[in-house]
Amino acid sequence: MKQTKINNFDVIDTYRVIKTIANGGFGIVYFVRELGSNQPLVMKIERENVHKSSIEIEYSVLKQIQGSLYFPRLFGTGKLNELTFIVMEMLGPSLSRIKQYLPGNRFSLSTSLRLGIEMVCMLREFHARGFVHRDIKPANFLIRPESPSPICLIDFGLSKRFIDPLTGMPHQKQLSMSCFIGTARYASINAHKHIDLGPRDDMICWFNTMAEMILGELPWSNLNDKNEILKMKEEIEPKNRCKNLPIQFISIYDEIVKTEYDEFPDYDMILLFLSDALRTTTNKDSEPFDWEKLNEHLLEELFPPSVTRRISVGDTLDTLQPRNFSQVDRTQGVKVEQFQLLGDPEEGPVKTNKFCGCCNIE
């Protein structure tokens, strides 16, 4: 298949490409504007020669989780020279990017715990809809400014259906997976050992995410080899995993690891522990989030001008629904006016290291 190259200002279907946002192993992400309305959106286009299209998987999952403030609004899909693309709402920066702007390269305890509560709520809803994410990490939580939920979960290309829609029961556990799935820094030991992943494993990733947000790094943050990371994870005792974290995290970790593959973690209990940690350690449940305290110059660097729409508490789910899919699922008539891939002229595309079709290390 001939490599498709895209220039800034090309028109793809009814969207004009403005610039490249990210360039990863599965696809390329563009900032686009819808023709006519000029609405800022994000377009993700799959790469050639990917064994199984993560974009198509992501589109399938996104269709089934619409109507929630926890997940991106989906605007459409189509084909570009046989390559699938999806169009979603424009969101703010990721937690991993914001972290780089903070003192000590870490979030405050107040912001971390409040975001942790939001993350558990969105994972509970995602799991309740029958899916596991399999790549929970700071880079996959984006800011949604002035929304009732300050963050949004993204990137569902590695997600899988956990609940059989016909029986309402978990799918039978696979004996093994063909390769490592997820991001090694945050992944569960099960992921390293190619054991089938369930809601418990998403929560292990969440726990590691929380530890990094609060402490600034994980014990294995300076390692890149997956086997070395696994060895360290297996050697660290649970009490040392929770060292320098609020004492409630010992109970949270115990609550997660006792969960079996075909069970849901006790989200309510975990939320109680987080709320107790917030009350006893900071008692600052209404102060501005860390990114809201940054100076104006840093805020301009972090937040694109297009991320300005206010989503008020009064917005209903109806007003946040995407347009009718029958009107936007297009597979023909895609127009590409020019051909050459360009990144951000100042920074270039953001790259991620992919070691195989379903794994990565940051």
**With helix as H, strand as E and coil as C, how does 287-346 read?**
CCCHHHHCCHHHHHHHCCCCCCCCCCCCCCCHHHCCCCHHHHECCCCCCCCCCCCCCCCC
Give the H/E segment covering residue 232: helix 226-235
CA 23 to chain centre: 15
- The answer to whether 171 and 132 have CB atoms below 8 angstroms apart is no
Catalytic residue chosen out of the listed positions 10, 13, 135, 290: 135
Cα distance between residue 285 and residue 252, in whole Å: 20
Sign, Cα dihedral of 100, 252, 266, 171 = positive
Residue type for position 5: K
Token couple for 78: 């189509």
> Burial level of 219, CB count in 10 A (0-12/13-18/19+)?
middle
Helix axis angle, 199-215 to 248-257, nearest 10°: 160
Cβ neighbours around 351 below 10 Å, total: 11
Rg for the chain (alpha carbons), in Å?
20
* 268 counts as catalytic: no
Cα distance between residue 145 and residue 278, in whole Å: 22
Positions marked active-site: 135
